[in-house]
Chains A and B, each alone.
Chain A
Amino acid sequence: MSKYSMIENGAETNKIKKFFQKDFSQFIVFAIPMIFIGIFLLYPMAITLIRAFWAPAEYTFKFTGWSLEGFRTFFGTKLYLRALVNSIIVSLSVTILCILIGVPMGYCVARVKIPGKKLLVSLGILPIIMPSFVGAYTWVILLGNKGIVRTALNFILKPFGVTLPSIYGMFGMILCMTLTYYPFVFQMAYGAFSGANALLEESAMLMGAGKARIMRTITLPLIIPSLGAAALLVFVRAIGNFGIPAVIGGNNYVLPTLIKFAYGGAGDINLASSIAVINVIITGLVLYIQKYIVNRHEYETISASHTDIKQHESLGAKIFAIILCLIVLIFSLLPQLTIIVMSFFKRWTGLLPSDFTWTNYANIFKKSSHELFNSFFLSIVATIMCAIFGSILAYITERKRPKGSALLDLSIMAPFILPGTVVSIALLSAFGGNGLMKLTGTYLILIISYMIRRTPYVYRSVAANLTQLNPSLEEASTISGATWFYTFRRVSVPLILPSIISGSVMTLTTLLQELSTTILLYGPRTRTVPIQIFNAVNENDLGRASALSTVLLIVVFAIIYTMNSRKGTDLSSSMKM
């Protein structure tokens, strides 16, 4: 071997050495989640989009030929069009009402000096955590034709010649969904009002602006981005809700009802896909409008220090705030109270429950141990994965800003703005059947779908925290020779821990009650507690359903209250868009 070629060889080895010495971990960490999202979100969504243009399928997942039949059926049938109109009316009304309730309440808790704020904030998240169909059944017990609250109110109103309208129909759906989803707005508004920069309001006051003017020109505009995100969340949840319309909608069907008709009734996954696509288009339009409004009101506030916000201390303000919060909380927590009461009785068929019993709780140990294990196992594993995935992803997109981070951001957030029924139909059409990847009935598909749908909580929470965090500490670590992962682990994680915790708490508590995805994907081995609750409610075994719900409710409340008692954790940050 000549001297010349030896040098060349040496250079070659050096190149290889250098290649391996290069820090690829960042690229790998970026690529793995992208691949994951590609397989388990983009691929299913693409399949759904393709299926939407296939001919009707009866009990088959196989290719049935290209066709516009699904859309023709949709736009050619009065029933479908009416459902579309109903969905839009209900979702928009619910969104507006949630803002009208949530914003004043958030303001009161954040800006008025009242006792028990942590308790109010903890209680004010519970309505969204209960499976909505359970809520719907309790509303029937409370406000149905034979409902106890309705009967009482009608008795009081009788001398005035007024009777309450029936809960069945559009009015009931809008009422129940509003009382279920206002916490999104409340939590976000609370977070925004208490986190806003106090200096701006103070300077306006110093310059002589009145209270109303400050509210109109400073306070409210500052929370518009948060409000926009909350409104979008409410809209998406409302348009994807199946439980409430199924129980109290009567003949007023909505889009998820149509998906149920198409897939559950006729085994037609292609028609279900067409409806899902229409659903996504509507959500996309609303997202566009929301972005348009929010972008017109985007403000950048620059501040070096954080000052505490001045709180209203006048007696009038305190009384108003307390009364407002109590009315909203009592009304919206009536379903939870009903469930706790119901769990000690055998039946509630008339006005009042009858036959006190402990057996509902005794039966949990006998008949639900496997389901309890599944619920906790699946939720905890998925939460840990979400916490790891979410925080690493947030760190990379926020700090490293690699090429394509916008794409990554959009992909992670997509499940957040896609109705649950749509994600489920997508996962089912990709992994159901007996195709390439048959995953229905496994623990894996549930964990994956939970991750896809819930990673945004940790991701957003951490990203929001990182933007407020000065990167100089991390830079110091890097300059001293630490790799990015070491820095992330030893410097960033301890700093962003509160936001990881709040995102994880939001993930865990909502997963423990997850039904809409689970119900399409579970198998005999992977039944969860919410599935059992759903069956029990359907089978008129309200005692069993309520005992199980009460157990979940207590676990969830304990987790949330413990977290809210910690300093620096804030649930609202996990919902930001």
Chain B
Amino acid sequence: MKKTLVVLLVLATVFTAVFAQGAAEAKSGKMELVLLSAGKEAESEKIIEAFNKEYPNITVTHLEKDSGDVLTLVQQKSSDSDVVLLIAQDSLVPMEENLYAYTTKNDAKFSADYKGAGNKWYACSMPLQTFMYNTDLLKGDDIPKSWFDLADPKYKGKIVLTNPASSGSAYAQLYMMYKLTGDLSLAEKIAKNGTVYVTDSKSGPQSVARGEYALTMTGESNVSDAIGKGSPVSYLYPVEGTGRRIEGAGIIDGCKNLEAAKIFMDWFTGKGGAEAIRSCGRRPVSTEVPGPDFLPALSELPFFEYDAIEAGQLKKQLRNEFAAFL
């Protein structure tokens, strides 16, 4: 019976240890911070490294989820995180009720268009969508110039896009097509052109970099990243322009590490944060630092109107219409 007791005691200890994790946090003047990002893991690591250079006393852990998952977690108040970042405006706006209003030290630098109501969030970068093509597979006149070229039969089976049902950026592309024609006729023609719609927005640019497909539409950061890694790819902004979108960061209401979160937001909205964003290949909204490597300056880009609020409202309807003809 003694041995049984010992076994039970060991089990009990294991369970208590498991339960107690987190409760026994170090109280040594060190601070903790949890970031919840819709970006890549490598990007979080770069941002944290830069942040820790200035604030080595804050231990930062990070978590990457799709923007839809982030929205669900924040709306459920079950994210266990302090700060959300690299979240597109269409997802930030619906989560505003669960974000904490904090006016950062850099508030004056942001115009009203670049922050949330009541300073719930601040824009950090622009997830602009562009054509990315494989330079071994498409050359000269074969490179598409317009959104409408994607429906050209010569690209049949050569285009890979992401299904708007699973990805925020892919939905943004669908909404842009809607804005161009006022309906989904263009999107339908592209879908009927043998275009492949993958389930993850990160695998399209990878396939193009490998030469599995010739062309995709993706966020600028993926293009900068692929060129930086030596992949045979290049970019082209469609002549009609691309939607002017922003993505941002904000503190989650009721978070555990509010003080550390404020310090982070002050840093992230400043020059240090902008440089970290730039090092990820993203285009910072701050004019204090240049655009990402390998990509043109903001002033050279063609734009058309992108209404993030309307995009959010039409989401369900456009997604359903799209699913019907896929």
Contact = CB atoms under 8 A, between A and B. Distances in A.
B76 A264 contact: no
Contact of A536 (B19, B41, B203): B41
A444 interface: yes
B183 interface: no
Given A59-B71, A266-B68, A261 B212 contact: no
B298 interface: no
Nearest to B165: A261
B41 A59 contact: no
Nearest to A534: B41
A210 interface: no
Interface in B124-141: none
A113 B21 CA distance: 53
B76 A61 contact: yes
Nearest to A246: B199
Q: Could you say which of B64, B167, B232 has the most chain A C-beta atoms within 10 Å of its C-beta? A: B64
Contact of B225 (A432, A489, A536, A540): A540
A267 B67 CA distance: 10
Contacts of B34: 524
Contact of B203 (A246, A260, A381, A432): A246
Interface in A298-340: none
Contacts of B61: 524-525
Interface residues of B, number: 62
Interface stretch (A140-148, A225-233, A473-481): A140-148
Contacts of A561: none
A261 B166 contact: yes
A367 B49 CA distance: 12
A384 B326 CA distance: 48
Contacts of A381: 14, 18
A59 B203 contact: no
B78 A434 contact: yes
B80 interface: yes
B77 interface: yes
A215 B188 CA distance: 56
Contacts of B210: 140-141, 144, 146, 349-350
B63 A59 contact: no
Interface stretch (A114-122, A283-291, A418-426, A435-443): A435-443
A79 B199 CA distance: 14
Nearest to B60: A524
A523 B63 contact: yes
A156 to B, nearest CB: 21
Interface in A348-398: 349-350, 367, 381, 384, 388
Nearest to A347: B229
Interface string B1-36: 001100000010010001101100000000000111
Nearest to B19: A444
B230 to A, nearest CB: 7
A271 B35 CA distance: 29
B326 A267 contact: no
B75 A59 contact: yes
A560 B64 CA distance: 33
Q: Chain B at the A interface: mostly helix, strand, loop or mixed?
A: mixed
Contacts of A250: 196, 198
Contact of A539 (B40, B77, B326): B40
B41 A349 contact: no
A448 to B, nearest CB: 10
Interface string B193-212: 00011111011011101111
A532 interface: yes
Contacts of B62: 524
A72 interface: no
A63 to B, nearest CB: 14
B76 A432 contact: yes
Nearest to B211: A146
A140 B66 contact: no
A388 B22 CA distance: 27
A168 interface: yes
A485 B76 CA distance: 45
A222 interface: no
A504 interface: no
7 contacts: A144-B212, A245-B199, A265-B68, A266-B319, A350-B211, A444-B19, A539-B42
Interface of B: 3-4, 11, 14, 18-19, 21-22, 34-36, 40-42, 45, 61-64, 66, 68-69, 71-72, 75-78, 80-81, 94, 163-167, 196-200, 202-203, 205-207, 209-213, 225-226, 229-232, 316, 319, 323-324, 326
Closest 4 CB pairs of A and B: A261-B165, A265-B166, A535-B41, A524-B61
Interface of A: 58-61, 77-79, 140-141, 144-146, 168, 245-247, 250-251, 253, 257, 260-261, 263-267, 269, 347, 349-350, 367, 381, 384, 388, 432-434, 438, 440-444, 447, 485, 489, 522-525, 527, 532, 535-536, 538-541
